[in-house]
Amino acid sequence: MSAIVSVDNLVKQFGNFTAVDGLSFTVNEGDVYGFLGQNGAGKSTTIRMMLTLIKPTAGSIKIFGKEILHHRSDILRQTGAMIERPDLYKYLSAYNNLSIFAKMSGIKVSKKLLMDQLEMVGLQEAADKKAGVFSQGMKQRLGIAVALVHNPKLIILDEPTNGLDPQGIADMRNLILRLSNEMGKTVIISSHLLSEVEQIANRMIIIDRGKKIVEGSVEELLDPEHTVVDIDTTNNEATQQLLASSKWNDYLQAEKPLQLMMNKTQVPALINDLVAGNVQLLSVKASHSLENYFLSLTTRHEHVEAFAN
C-alpha cells in the first residue's frame, strides 16, 4: 500500500514554545487514520502545517509523494479539509457557501453537483437558508460538504464530531466509514477521544506535547490481550490477599492494589472466582491499557490546568 502522507521529523516552534517536536508518521492509501491527542497536544498545528496554513520550523511533509511547500496547489486540489469549527460565511446560503469553495477548489461547478453534495450530507432542504442560522450539527455537515465537493483523494477532518449530539456523532461516523469503504478515500481524523477513533480508524497515532507516543494499527494497539481490570469491593484488602494467593496473582499490577491486566476473554472467569470466594463486588471495570494510558495523559494535564487556575 502506497504512502499518501509522509511526515518526517516535523517541528513547529512559536517563540520558545515547541508545539510539534520531531513528529513523524505515515498515512497509507485507503487508511482511516486516527490522529489522537489531548487538547493542546499539537494535532491542529500538525494539520495546519499539512494544509500550509502554518509553516514548519523544520522537517518535511510529503503528500501524494510531493513536498507540500513546493507543490502546494497540486496537493490541495486533491485534498479536502475541515479544520476545527466548520466556520462559513454566515450571510450566505448553504448553496452559495458550497458554490464559493467548490469554485475555489478549481472544479467546474453545476447546480446538480452542489445539490447532490448537499443531499449527501442531508442539507438539501436547507440549501437556501443562511449558514448563520444553522445549528452546530448543520454547520458541521455543511463543512463536510465543503471538504468533499471537489472529490478529493485525501480528506482531513479536525475534530469533526465536536459539538455534535449523539445522533450527529453516529451520522458523522457512518459518513466517514462510507467515504473510506465505498468511495476509497483516505481519511485523517483528529480527535481527543480514543473511543471515537477506535470505532472508525484502521490505523492511528497518539501524540502528546507535540511528540509521538505510539503509532500503529488499531487492531494491534487495542489488542484485547492488554485489558486492564479495576475492581472495587466492600473489603479491598481481603480481596487483594485472595487474588495474591490465587492464579490471578500473575495478572496483578504493581501500581494499583486491585488492578489486573489480562486478556479480555478472561474477565468472566475472574468475576466467577471472586463471587465463588464470597467477595462482595461493588464494581468491575474493564478497559484497554491504551485507553488507560490516554486517559492518564488527559487527566495529568487537567490536574496541571486545575492547579494553575
Partner 1 sequence: MNMWRLLQIELFKITRRPRTYIAFAAITAIVFIFQFAFKADGQSYMDLMMQSAKDEFAFDRVEAINGYFMCYIILNTLLIQVPILVALIAADSISGEANMGTLRLLVSKPVSRTQIILVKFAAATIFTIFLLVWMAVTALFLSIVIFGTGDMLVFRTKGTESMIMQITKDDVMWRYYAAFAYATVALTVIAALSLLLSIFADNSIGPIIATVCIVIVCTIISNINVPIIDRNVKPFLFTSYLVGWKGFFYIGTNENGNTIKGSLENWPAIRNSLMILIAHIVLIVGISIAVFRKKDILS
Residues at the site binding partner 1, with contacts judged by CB under 8 A: 14, 48, 51-55, 72-74, 76-77, 79, 81, 83-85, 87-92, 96, 100-101, 103-106, 146
Of the two residues 26 and 52, which places its CB atom closer to partner 1 in the complex? 52
- Least distance from C-beta 85 to partner 1, angstroms? 6
Q: Which pairing describes strands 32-36 and 203-208: parallel, antiparallel, or unpaired?
A: parallel
- φ/ψ of residue 185, rounded to 5: -80, 155
Of the two residues 72 and 129, which places its CB atom closer to partner 1 in the complex? 72
- Least distance from C-beta 221 to partner 1, angstroms? 29
Of the two residues 52 and 287, which places its CB atom closer to partner 1 in the complex? 52
Among 149, 138, 145, which residue's Cα sits nearest to residue 90? 138
Contacts of 41 (CB under 8 A, 6+ apart): 192, 207, 208, 209, 210, 297
Of the two residues 14 and 235, which places its CB atom closer to partner 1 in the complex? 14
- Least distance from C-beta 105 to partner 1, angstroms? 6
Of the two residues 27 and 49, which places its CB atom closer to partner 1 in the complex? 49
Of the two residues 149 and 194, which places its CB atom closer to partner 1 in the complex? 149
User: What kind and span of H or E run contains 207?
Assistant: strand 203-208
Alpha-carbon separation of residue 278 from 71, 98, 272, 273 (angstroms): 68, 64, 10, 9
- Least distance from C-beta 243 to partner 1, angstroms? 51
- Least distance from C-beta 12 to partner 1, angstroms? 9
What does the alpha-carbon distance between residue 151 and residue 102 come to, in Å, rounded to a whole number?
10
Burial class (CB in 10 A: 0-12, 13-18, 19+), 108: exposed
- φ/ψ of residue 145, rounded to 5: -60, -40
Q: Are 58 and 9 in contact (CB under 8 A)?
A: yes
Handedness of CA 164, 165, 169, 172 (dihedral sign): negative
Residue 293, number of CB atoms within 10 A of its CB: 16
- Least distance from C-beta 76 to partner 1, angstroms? 4
Of the two residues 132 and 184, which places its CB atom closer to partner 1 in the complex? 132
- Least distance from C-beta 104 to partner 1, angstroms? 4
